Structure 1
Amino acid sequence: MNARPKRKHTLSSDLRGVAKLATQATAGVARMVEGVHQSIWDRLGVPGGPQAGQTRGLTGLAYRSVHGVNHLVGRGLDLALSRLEILLAQDTHASIDTDPPKRAAWLAALNGVMGDHLVASHNPLATPMSVRWQGQALDWQQLPQDLPSKGRVLLMIHGLCMNDLQWQGQDGRLDYGQTLAEAMDYCPLYLRYNSGLHTSQNGRELADQLQALIDHWPVPVEEVSIIAHSMGGLLARSACHIAAEQSLSWLPLLKNIVFLGTPHHGAPLERAGNWIDVLLGSTPFTAPLAKLGHLRSAGITDLRHGYVRDEDWSGADRFQRQPDRRLITPLPAGVNCFAVAATLAPKRGRLADRLIGDGLVPLHSALGEHEDPRRDLGFAKSAQWICYRMNHIALLSDAQLGRQLQSWLRAEPSGSAP
């Protein structure tokens, strides 16, 4: 058997996407520099151009020239690389079945940081949502012939700036999906999605994907269980809320959700990022630089308070500091829900719970605890697990935690909120 030719990590579509980003970045930097320039003129009483932050006269002409040349170069690059993409797509040796891990990793990180912008600008680097098996996206109309015909499905959902391959035993790490599948006769599936979109947007699409799974699975589905890391847990809750509203048939088949380090009530680092927006925008000289903070995607700003519904974020400027305005969204009824939290501290305490956490998510947020009883998610004590001296990423692969997951899914206690 001939070995398949290896594909380079950088594809023609990637080049076109990067060129598009570079063109937009040049335009963005030029606008910021012009904004700072004009803010100085404003202090001296020199009028600006027709729009806020624009200069006029020879200075304005110079900036308009930069924008014009950048636009022409960008269009030329996009046209040339799109033709190259078509030519390479005709070469059967130009692709392989699965993405190289390095390419998948940098695409996931890019989508996490600015995935909403990639979608809005029709950039080919935007990652579409897909349910994957053995590294391949499933086509619901034509499922692989060797897909295991099992009625129990386990779906693994990654977090912000990550991808499905990072679950799967790289560098000898434990793969929860594979070990649970072998021990409990699941078919392990992995979700890949653009983590820069609003959580509720991804939740709606996940609800549709799970419905397609139920409709097209080769045998009747008996059970769906989910293990979700970080943002992935918010995504799962969002999908359940939408499924309940639309009476989708997959929701009654959902038996378990395990949340690994999910920021149910937000993450302080995003709230700190929001403070940066406020501070930069507080003076006329630094206000143009506040646009740098606006590079954060909608997915990231949703982590400020843990948004899961459209109503949580719609109608508000996501970069303006504001109180928690979430609607009450409880855990899905009739589903066994489990919360895993990590802390870098050796034991629980006020500092460990509120400030340290796992380095990204406070312990009380991961456990769904809230001082307002209406917002407390009410995980049963038997459905909580705390990992000490552990960081956020280590939750992806830990032998002791893996045994606890297996114990939970076998015992099937009623861990959901009443």
Structure 2
Amino acid sequence: MPPSDEHAIDPTSRLAADLRGVGRLAIDGVTGATDIVEAMHAAIGHLPAILGRPAPATTTGLTGFVYRSVRGVTRLVGAGVDRSLAALAPVLGGGGVSPQREALVAAINGVLGDHLETSGNPLAIRMQFRVAGAPLERDALPANTRGKLLVTLHGLCMNDLQWRYAGHDHGEALAREHDYTRVDLHYNTGRPVAANGLAFATLLDQLVHAWPVPVEEIVLLCHSMGGLVARRALEAGLREQLAWTQRPVRIVFLGTPHHGAPLERAGAWADQLIAISPYSAPFVKLGKVRSAGITDLRHGTPGDAPKVPKHVRLYAIAARTDGLVPVASAFGEHDDPARNLRIPASRRWLSTDTHHLGLLGSEAVYQRLARWLRR
């Protein structure tokens, strides 16, 4: 496996990198707000305003010069702050990893991860395998490595440390009681699901080739969006005939929105309503502060369901009181036969006493996982 870029960040410089990342977000926020105000100014000055007729997004003359000046000064100040923080990295120190920092950065990546990546922001999470929060390196594989590999994939706005919920960690318990070696995927949930799936397929193939003992079985334990990433990875792996897809593979979905999440679709509808009036249209930019990853939840995984070979088994657990993912979506059921995952009833289970996040800490869910995986 190639060395991790995140691992190369010395703890003494991590705080400086975080501050630089936050600074860049602040600059982006000021320039973005300026764009919205100028668009409103241009719309109001463009009379008469008629529903459905687009108004100009920028102003002209002295007014336009003022808005351009605001943007220019903001970017100039931001560049100076960025250079200063980079130079102060050796003396700032104290930037070690903490669960609180990891949770905050994961949430920011979930909402703005695609922007963080394209803008080169230091806060952008780079996909990597980790063990107990530490990057996994070729010469530091888990002790007593076994041929049964368990890989966890977390959900939107979360990170690999958050598999522990209400004092319980499904991955930890399965590894301890069922002889798996557990590895966690840490990734930027704001990136497009398809891009994350393709990257994960390649990374997993590298892991299998580097594994010190023959890989007998691979289990992908996926919560929420993690299941969509796993599906995309499986499709890419089968298409490219990657080595890991030739092993026995079991993919377990916990509350995965295979066919979309209604709340994201509601957000899209709100965007369309706001855009009707030329006066309110500039505010669509605020509504669109949703990453590509969140937008992908609108319809889940589009297209036909993958043709799963016999050595690949799919399992799904849904929560009746989820509030985010309908049961049919979590089970991969669809009116269109081509999109139906056709997961057998024996590999589907409905939790009646927990919610979306509660799936992570439910003892009943764990017992169902253990029963499935010991077969």
Query: Structure 1 residue 221: deviation in Å?
Result: 1.1
Other structure's SS at 1:304 match: coil
Counterpart pick for 1:191 among 185, 195, 198: 185
Q: Does residue 335 of structure 2 align to residue 359 of structure 1?
A: no
Q: Which position in structure 2 is the counterpart of 1:320?
A: none
Q: Does residue 315 of structure 2 align to residue 338 of structure 1?
A: yes
Distance 2:245 2:48 in 1: 63
| 1:48-81 per-position Cα deviation (integer Å, ceiling 9, x unaligned) | xxx9311122222221221111011111111111
Distance 1:253 1:52 in 2: 57
Q: Which range moved further: 178-187 or 250-259? A: 250-259
Other structure's SS at 2:349 match: strand
Distance 2:145 2:256 in 1: 31
Distance 1:11 1:148 in 2: 34
Counterpart pick for 1:384 among 337, 341, 348: 348
Q: Does residue 258 of structure 2 align to residue 264 of structure 1?
A: yes
What amino acid is the match of 1:337? L
Query: Structure 1 residue 147: deviation in Å?
Result: 2.9
Distance 2:77 2:263 in 1: 37
| Amino-acid identity (%) | 45
Q: Does the Cα contact within 8 Å between 2:259 and 2:332 map onto a contact in 1?
A: yes
- Runs (4+) off by over 6 Å: 7-10
Distance 2:144 2:131 in 1: 10
Q: Does the Cα contact within 8 Å between 2:223 and 2:255 map onto a contact in 1?
A: yes
Q: Does residue 47 of structure 2 align to residue 71 of structure 1?
A: no
Unaligned ranges ≥5, structure 1: 1-6, 46-50, 308-325, 345-357, 412-418
Pairs within 5 Å for 1:77-226: 77-85=81-89, 87-88=90-91, 94=94, 96=96, 99-140=97-138, 142-144=139-141, 147-168=143-164, 173-226=167-220
Query: Structure 1 residue 149: deviation in Å?
Result: 1.9
Q: Does the Cα contact within 8 Å between 1:155 and 1:226 map onto a contact in 2?
A: yes
Query: Structure 1 residue 167: deviation in Å?
Result: 0.6
Q: Does the Cα contact within 8 Å between 2:164 and 2:360 map onto a contact in 1?
A: no
Higher relative contact order (CA 8 A, sep 6+): 2
Other structure's SS at 1:225 match: strand
Distance 1:57 1:174 in 2: 62
Distance 1:254 1:95 in 2: 41
CA RMSD of aligned residues (A): 1.9
Q: Which range moved further: 115-124 or 273-282? A: 273-282
What amino acid is the match of 1:375? R
What amino acid is the match of 1:340? I
Pairs within 5 Å for 1:245-264: 245-264=239-258
Distance 1:384 1:127 in 2: 33
Distance 2:298 2:91 in 1: 42
| 1:225-270 per-position Cα deviation (integer Å, ceiling 9, x unaligned) | 1110000001001000000111100012242111000000001011
| 1:143-191 per-position Cα deviation (integer Å, ceiling 9, x unaligned) | 34x533211111111000000000135xx52111111111111011111
Q: Which position in structure 2 is the counterpart of 1:31?
A: 35
Q: Does residue 230 of structure 2 align to residue 232 of structure 1?
A: no
Distance 1:173 1:289 in 2: 42
Cα 1:148/1:13, change in 2 over 3 Å: same
TM-score by length of 2: 0.92
Query: Structure 1 residue 204: deviation in Å?
Result: 0.8
Q: Which position in structure 2 is the counterpart of 1:322?
A: none
Q: Does the Cα contact within 8 Å between 1:9 and 1:100 map onto a contact in 2?
A: no
Pairs within 5 Å for 1:250-329: 250-307=244-301, 326-329=302-305
Distance 2:169 2:180 in 1: 14
Other structure's SS at 2:150 match: strand
Distance 1:60 1:159 in 2: 43
Distance 1:10 1:41 in 2: 47
Q: Does the Cα contact within 8 Å between 1:9 and 1:103 map onto a contact in 2?
A: no
Distance 1:268 1:231 in 2: 14
Q: Does the Cα contact within 8 Å between 1:338 and 1:383 map onto a contact in 2?
A: yes
Query: Structure 1 residue 44: deviation in Å?
Result: 5.2
What amino acid is the match of 1:79? R
Unaligned ranges ≥5, structure 2: 1-10, 50-54
| 1:381-402 per-position Cα deviation (integer Å, ceiling 9, x unaligned) | 1111001132100011111110
Other structure's SS at 1:190 match: strand
Query: Structure 1 residue 130: deviation in Å?
Result: 1.0
Q: Does residue 373 of structure 2 align to residue 409 of structure 1?
A: yes
Q: Which position in structure 2 is the counterpart of 1:57?
A: 61
| 1:21-61 per-position Cα deviation (integer Å, ceiling 9, x unaligned) | 1001100000100000110000259xxxxx93111222222
What amino acid is the match of 1:100? S
Q: Which position in structure 2 is the counterpart of 1:3?
A: none
Q: Which position in structure 2 is the counterpart of 1:372?
A: 336
| 1:101-128 per-position Cα deviation (integer Å, ceiling 9, x unaligned) | 0000010100000100000000000000
Q: Does the Cα contact within 8 Å between 2:110 and 2:293 map onto a contact in 1?
A: yes
TM-score by length of 1: 0.82
What amino acid is the match of 2:140? L
Q: Which range moved further: 52-61 or 157-166? A: 52-61
| 1:278-333 per-position Cα deviation (integer Å, ceiling 9, x unaligned) | 011111001111011221111011111113xxxxxxxxxxxxxxxxxx32132632
